[in-house]
C-alpha cells in the first residue's frame, strides 16, 4: 500500500449457506475506498449478489495494486465450493471450502498480498460435522500464524479485550494467573500503540470479583494476583488503571480515563458493548502479524437467501480494517 494506491482488503464470505456471501456482495456494491478481494467461490458470490438484486463486476485478482475502484467492482480469489449451497442449510461437504478460504486469506496477508482480512460469519458446527476440528476464527488464525492473540471487541465508543474467552464461569478463577494477565496486557498495549496509533495506551483492568474483591472480603484474586501484577507492570511504565469494579468501570465519567478495558471473562464486559453498539461492534484479533477484523454476529440462517440481512457490521469491520492498515508501520 502506498499513498497513491488503495489498501487491499481480503474479505471472506464465511458459511456459504449463511448471510455472509450476501453481505460481501453489498460491501462490493458500495463505494468504500478499498481494493476489495473476495476470497470465496465465484458462483456463490454471483448467486448472493442476485439475491440482493445487485450486479457486480467480478474480476480475477492478479495481485496488482490499484488507485481507484468503482462501486460494484470486486476482485476475486476463487476458492471452489465442495457442493452448491442451499440457503439456510449448512452442508458439511463445504467445511473444507470454509477452511481453505481462511487459509488463503491468512497466508495472503502474511505474504504481503493483502493489507488486512475482514471475515464474515461461519458455522462452526458444520465445519466440525465435516470432520475438521475447529473452535473458531481467532484460534485458527493464531495457529496459522503461530501467534499469541487476544480478542478485542471495538466500537466507536469503547474497546474491550478479554483475559479469558469461551470458558465455563466455574473455571475462570483458576485461569486468571499472573502470567496470563501479563501476556494479555503486553499484547493489548502493543496493539493499541502500533495498530491504533495510541502513543501511551491507558488500559483499565477489571477485577474478577464484585467490587473488585472489596479488600479481600469478596475473594482474594485481586489481592493475590491482579494487584501485584499491575504494580509490577506500572513499574515498567505501563499506564494501568485498576483493578476496577466492573459495575462502575463503564459509566461515562470513567471512559475518558482509558483507551481500552481488559475484562476477566466473556460476559463481564461484552454485554455492555453489544447493548450499546451491536451493529457497530467489530471483532479484532490482536497479536497477529496481520490485521484481522470481523463481523460480530452469526450466520443468520433464517435470513440467508432473502437479501435482507443488515450489512452494517461488515461495513464497520471493513472501515476499521482500513483505519488500522493506514496506521500500521510500513
Q: Are 132 and 153 in contact (CB under 8 A)?
A: no
Residue 57 has pLDDT above 80, yes or no: yes
The confidence band for 174, taking pLDDT boundaries of 50, 70 and 90, is: very high
- 327: annotated binding-site residue? no
Least confident of 155-159, 187-191, 260-264: 155-159
Cβ neighbours of 250 (radius 10 Å):
19
- 119: annotated binding-site residue? no
- 97: annotated binding-site residue? no
- 292: annotated binding-site residue? yes
Tell me the average pLDDT across 152-164.
Answer: 94
What does the DSSP 8-state code read for residue 245? P
- 57: annotated binding-site residue? no
Q: Residue 280 has what pLDDT?
A: 84
Distance CA 34, CA 48 (A): 21
Instruction: Name the 3-class secondary structure at 322.
Output: helix
Q: How many Cα atoms are found within 13 Å in the side-chain-facing hemisphere of 30? A: 18
- 12: annotated binding-site residue? no
Q: Residue 329 has what pLDDT?
A: 63
Q: Are strands 282-286 and 150-154 parallel, antiparallel or unpaired?
A: antiparallel
Exposure string over 254-284, b if 16+ CB within 10 A, otherwise e: eeeebbbbbbbbbebbbebbbeebeebbbbb
Least confident of 33-42, 105-114, 161-170, 180-189: 161-170
Interhelix angle 227-235/178-194, rounded to 10 degrees, is: 40
Q: Residue 297 has what pLDDT?
A: 87
The confidence band for 166, taking pLDDT boundaries of 50, 70 and 90, is: confident
Amino acid at each position: 500500500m502506498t499513498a497513491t494506491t488503495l489498501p487491499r482488503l481480503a474479505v471472506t464470505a464465511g458459511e456459504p449457506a449463511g448471510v455472509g456471501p450476501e453481505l460481501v456482495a453489498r460491501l462490493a456494491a458500495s463505494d468504500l475506498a478499498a481494493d476489495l478481494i473476495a476470497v470465496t467461490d465465484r458462483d456463490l458470490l454471483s448467486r448472493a449478489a442476485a439475491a440482493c438484486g445487485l450486479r457486480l463486476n467480478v474480476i480475477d485478482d492478479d495481485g496488482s495494486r490499484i488507485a481507484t475502484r468503482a462501486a460494484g467492482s470486486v476482485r476475486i480469489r476463487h476458492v471452489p465450493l465442495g457442493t452448491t449451497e442451499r440457503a439456510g442449510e449448512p452442508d458439511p461437504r463445504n467445511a473444507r471450502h470454509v477452511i481453505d478460504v481462511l487459509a488463503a486469506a491468512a497466508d495472503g496477508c502474511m505474504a504481503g498480498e493483502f493489507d488486512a482480512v475482514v471475515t464474515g460469519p461461519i458455522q462452526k458446527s458444520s465445519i466440525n460435522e465435516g470432520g475438521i476440528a475447529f473452535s473458531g476464527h481467532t484460534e485458527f488464525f493464531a495457529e496459522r500464524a503461530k501467534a499469541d492473540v487476544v480478542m478485542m471487541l471495538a466500537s466507536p465508543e469503547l474497546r474491550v479485550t478479554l483475559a479469558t474467552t469461551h470458558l465455563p464461569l466455574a473455571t475462570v478463577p483458576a485461569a486468571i494467573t499472573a502470567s496470563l494477565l501479563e501476556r494479555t496486557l503486553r499484547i493489548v498495549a502493543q496493539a493499541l500503540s502500533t495498530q491504533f496509533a495510541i502513543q501511551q495506551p491507558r488500559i483499565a483492568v477489571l477485577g474478577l470479583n464484585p467490587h473488585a474483591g472489596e479488600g479481600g472480603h469478596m475473594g482474594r484474586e485481586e489481592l493475590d494476583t491482579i494487584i501485584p501484577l499491575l504494580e509490577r507492570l506500572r513499574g515498567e511504565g505501563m499506564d494501568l488503571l485498576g483493578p476496577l469494579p466492573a459495575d462502575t468501570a463503564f459509566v461515562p465519567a470513567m471512559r475518558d480515563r482509558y483507551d481500552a478495558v481488559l475484562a476477566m471473562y466473556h460476559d463481564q464486559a461484552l454485554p455492555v458493548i453489544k447493548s450499546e453498539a451491536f451493529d457497530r461492534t467489530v471483532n479484532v484479533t490482536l497479536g497477529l502479524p496481520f490485521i484481522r477484523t470481523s463481523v460480530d454476529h452469526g450466520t443468520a440462517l433464517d435470513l440467508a437467501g432473502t437479501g435482507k440481512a443488515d450489512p452494517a457490521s461488515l461495513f464497520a469491520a471493513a472501515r476499521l480494517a482500513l483505519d488500522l492498515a493506514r496506521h500500521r508501520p510500513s
